[in-house]
C-alpha cells in the first residue's frame, strides 16, 4: 500500500502556468501531497490584447464526470481535503456545489476568486452571489484577498490591518476559519495576513518583497494551506507554512513576458 497524503482541487486552467490549477498541483507536489484535480474553466490570456482574459467555462456535465472519476478513485478515508479555486459562472457553481456535497470533506478550502477580468460586470455579480450562497456554506476555510474580503464582508473600504480583521470576523459568521490576506495591498513595510477562527485573530507577518503584486500568490497560499491540512497539520501552523512557502516563492519569482511575475513553486 502506498498512500501519500492526497488533496483534490477544482479550479480553472491558466495556460501560462502562473495561476489556477497549474499552480495548485505544483504547490501540492512541492509539499509532498498527491494532487487530484478537476477543471472548472479554461483561461487563455490574449497576448495581443493586453493579456486580457479569454474565459471558457467547462460544460457542467464534464465537470460532473471529472468529480465522478476522482471520487471513485480515492476513498473518503484517503481523500478528505479539497480546494476550490476559480469557478467562473453561476452554472458551474451550481454543479460544483452539488458534486462537493457527494462527500463529507474534513477540510474544504475555498479561494473565493470573484471576478475574472474578461467577464461582463453583470455576469460577475451573479457569480459573486452564487459563490456566497452555494459554495461558502460548504467551506471550512476561506482565503479572500483585500478586494474579496471587502466584497464578502460588505464593508465600505479596507485600508488597514484592523479593517481586514473586521472583515475576517464578519465573513467568519458563515465560515469556521477565515484567512484574509493583506499582501502588498495594505500600507506598511510588512505583508500581513490575518486568521479568524471564530474566537480570535492570529496575525501572520513577513517583510514585503517589493510593492508589485505577483501572479499566483493567492492560488499558492490557498493550495499550500490545503496541502498542509491534508497532511494533518493544525490550522495555525498550516497558515504559517503556507506564508513561508509563498514568501520564498516570491523571493525566487519567475519573470516572463506577462505583466506580472509569478511565484516559483520550487524555491
Ligand atoms: O489568480 C486568480 C486566478 C485563478 N484561477 C485562474 C485564473 C486566475 C487569474 O487569472 O486565470 C484560472
Q: What is the pLDDT of residues 8-61, one digit of tens each?
A: 999 999 999 999 999 999 999 999 999 999 999 999 999 999 888 899 999 999
| All cell numbers assigned to 9 | 482541487
217, 250 contact by CB (below 8 A): yes
Which positions of the chain have pLDDT values less than 50?
117-118
Cα separation, 84 vs 114, in Å, equals 12
Report which protein residue has its CA nearest ligand 1's atom 11: 14
Q: Which residues pair with 196 in a beta bridge?
A: 178, 201
Nearest to 214 by CA among 257, 249, 179: 249
For 45, half-sphere exposure in the C-beta direction (CA atoms, 13 angstrom radius) is 15
Report which protein residue has its CA nearest ligand 1's atom 6: 20
Mapping DSSP to helix (H, G, I), strand (E, B) and coil, where does residue 247 land?
Answer: helix
Ligand 1: centre distance to CA 200 (Å): 30
260, 18 contact by CB (below 8 A): yes
Ligand 1: centre distance to CA 41 (Å): 10
Beta strand extents in 104-159 (DSSP E only): 107-110, 141-142
Share of the chain above pLDDT 70, in %: 96
Biggest CA pair distance of the chain:
53
Ordered domains of the chain (ranges, CATH): 6-251 (3.40.1190.20)
Q: Which residues pair with 37 in a beta bridge?
A: 9
Cα separation, 182 vs 233, in Å, equals 23
- Find cell 454543479 and name the residue: 95
195, 165 contact by CB (below 8 A): no
Position 124 scores a pLDDT of: 80
9 lines ligand 1 (CB under 6 A): no
164, 186 contact by CB (below 8 A): yes
The secondary element (H helix, E strand) that includes residue 71 is helix 60-73
Ligand 1: centre distance to CA 1 (Å): 36
Nearest-5° Cα angle at 174, 218 to 143 = 5
Cα separation, 20 vs 44, in Å, equals 11
12 lines ligand 1 (CB under 6 A): yes
Ligand 1: centre distance to CA 199 (Å): 31
The number of the ligand 1 atom at minimal distance from the alpha carbon of 113 is 2
178 lines ligand 1 (CB under 6 A): no
| All cell numbers assigned to 57 | 467555462
How remote is the C-alpha of 62 from its chain's centroid?
A: 22
Cα separation, 206 vs 68, in Å, equals 41
Mapping DSSP to helix (H, G, I), strand (E, B) and coil, where does residue 143 land?
Answer: coil
Position 1 scores a pLDDT of: 64
85 lines ligand 1 (CB under 6 A): yes
Does this model's pTM top 0.85? My answer is: yes
215, 178 contact by CB (below 8 A): no
Position 117 scores a pLDDT of: 47
Position 116 scores a pLDDT of: 55
Amino acid at each position: 500500500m502506498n498512500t501519500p497524503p492526497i488533496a483534490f482541487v477544482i479550479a480553472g486552467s491558466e495556460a501560462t502556468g502562473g495561476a489556477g490549477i497549474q499552480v495548485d498541483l505544483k504547490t501540492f507536489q512541492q509539499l509532498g501531497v498527491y494532487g487530484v484535480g478537476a477543471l472548472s474553466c479554461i483561461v487563455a490570456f490574449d497576448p495581443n490584447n493586453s493579456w486580457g482574459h479569454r474565459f471558457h467555462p467547462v460544460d457542467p456535465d464534464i465537470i460532473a464526470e471529472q468529480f465522478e472519476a476522482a471520487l471513485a478513485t480515492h476513498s473518503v478515508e484517503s481523500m478528505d481535503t479539497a480546494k476550490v479555486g476559480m469557478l467562473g459562472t453561476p452554472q458551474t457553481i451550481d454543479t460544483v456545489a452539488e458534486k462537493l456535497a457527494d462527500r463529507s470533506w474534513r477540510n474544504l478550502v475555498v479561494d473565493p476568486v470573484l471576478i475574472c477580468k474578461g467577464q461582463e460586470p453583470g455576469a460577475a455579480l451573479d457569480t459573486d452571489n452564487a459563490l456566497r450562497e452555494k459554495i461558502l456554506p460548504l467551506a471550512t476555510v476561506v482565503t479572500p484577498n483585500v478586494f474579496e474580503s471587502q466584497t464578502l464582508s460588505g464593508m465600505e473600504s479596507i485600508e488597514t490591518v484592523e479593517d481586514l480583521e473586521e472583515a475576517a470576523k464578519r465573513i467568519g459568521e458563515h465560515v469556521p476559519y477565515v484567512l484574509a490576506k493583506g499582501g502588498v495591498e495594505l500600507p506598511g513595510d510588512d505583508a500581513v495576513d490575518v486568521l479568524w477562527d471564530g474566537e480570535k485573530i492570529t496575525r501572520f507577518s513577513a517583510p514585503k518583497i517589493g510593492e508589485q503584486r505577483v501572479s499566483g500568490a493567492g492560488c499558492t497560499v490557498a493550495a499550500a494551506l490545503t496541502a498542509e491540512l491534508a497532511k494533518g497539520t493544525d490550522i495555525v501552523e498550516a497558515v504559517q507554512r503556507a506564508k513561508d512557502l509563498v514568501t520564498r516563492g516570491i523571493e525566487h519569482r519567475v519573470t516572463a513576458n506577462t505583466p506580472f511575475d509569478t511565484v516559483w513553486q520550487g524555491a
